[in-house]
């Protein structure tokens, strides 16, 4: 049985991950982590997740439990994820990382840890979203420079980064397929007299409202027709199931950097 640690255990995604770990026949939850100053340290992780008491107390120190798990699943915030990646690398533990919003420096720090232990990092662990990445690559290569490309996304009011990591990943997939540098062609907002659209740009639009789990659309618009690739998530469980699937896949992998495309065999 693969021993799983979930950090951010009291959050929306953390609770769903705990449920997903419990539902998988090859995994068991052996560690539940929260930030050290959380009022929920010592609480029963199962009760927090709404699955009933499991007699596993939430812990605030990853070093205290580093020998109690095989793979850590982390969907928290960049600063915490960098520290967790470093702890896992030093302790020889594997990491499934779904955190988004890293600065370039933070991302470099995380990636450096892949040299010591296996790391599966993705902006989205949903099977459907990863299929959309593949379809967006195909569409960009077929449609080429004959289309204008716009990416829109919508999430709940509590999401703290924008555009979403998934939207940025979609942009990176499309830009790479077209031989463009996303940092040079991305447009993240339009207001006022912007002038005619530059055909090389890739536009992004963001919505934050209510309890939207996650909607993403890539539009390829030409004269007379357009192609849209859309994914709509109605439950965080789709992300959680994918993350647990990635953890199981990662269990026997050598040190290195992997992503959900590797897990699904889409590369």
Q: Show which residues are catalytic.
A: 155, 159
Angle value at C-alpha 245, between 110 and 22, nearest 5 degrees? 105
Quick check: 2 and 70 in contact, CB under 8 A? Answer: yes
Q: Give, as one character, the DSSP assignment of residue 143.
A: H
Strands 27-33 and 2-7: parallel
The encoded tokens of residue 182 equal: 């996303």
Which residues are CB-neighbours of 126 under 8 A, at least 6 positions away?
A: 231, 233, 238, 239, 242
Residue 190 structure tokens: 């339009």
Using an 8 Å Cβ cutoff, are 235 and 213 in contact?
yes
The answer to whether the beta carbons of residues 139 and 131 sit under 8 Å apart is no
The two three-digit tokens of residue 142, written as one number: 């077929």
**Locus of tokens 């339009």:** 190
Q: Are 243 and 17 in contact (CB under 8 A)?
A: yes
The token pair at 166 is 């998934």
Between CA 46 and CA 55 the distance in angstroms is 7
């Amino acid at each position: 049985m693969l021993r799983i640690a979930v950090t951010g255990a009291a959050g929306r995604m953390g609770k769903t991950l705990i449920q997903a770990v419990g539902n998988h026949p090859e995994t068991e939850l052996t560690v539940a982590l929260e930030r050290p100053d959380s009022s929920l340290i010592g609480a029963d992780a199962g009760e927090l997740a709404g699955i009933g008491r499991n007699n596993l107390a939430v812990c605030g120190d990853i070093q205290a439990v580093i020998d109690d798990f095989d793979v850590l699943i982390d969907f928290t915030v960049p600063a915490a994820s960098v520290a967790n990646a470093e702890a896992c690398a030093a302790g020889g533990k594997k990491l499934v990382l779904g955190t988004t919003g890293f600065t370039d420096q933070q991302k470099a720090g995380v990636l450096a840890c892949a040299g010591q232990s296996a790391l599966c990092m993705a902006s989205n662990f949903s099977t459907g979203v990863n299929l959309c990445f593949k379809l967006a690559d195909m569409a960009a290569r077929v449609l080429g420079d004959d289309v204008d490309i716009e990416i829109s996304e919508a999430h709940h009011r509590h999401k703290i980064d924008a555009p979403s990591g998934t939207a940025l990943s979609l942009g990176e997939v499309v830009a790479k397929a077209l031989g463009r540098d996303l940092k040079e062609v991305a447009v993240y907002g339009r207001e006022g007299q912007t002038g005619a659209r530059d055909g090389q740009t890739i536009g992004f639009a963001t919505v934050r409202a209510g309890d939207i789990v996650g909607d993403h659309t890539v539009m390829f618009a030409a004269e007379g027709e357009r192609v849209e690739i859309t994914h709509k998530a109605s439950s965080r469980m789709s992300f959680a199931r994918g993350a647990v699937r990635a953890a199981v896949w990662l269990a026997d992998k050598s040190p290195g950097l992997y992503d959900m495309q590797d897990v699904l065999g889409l590369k």
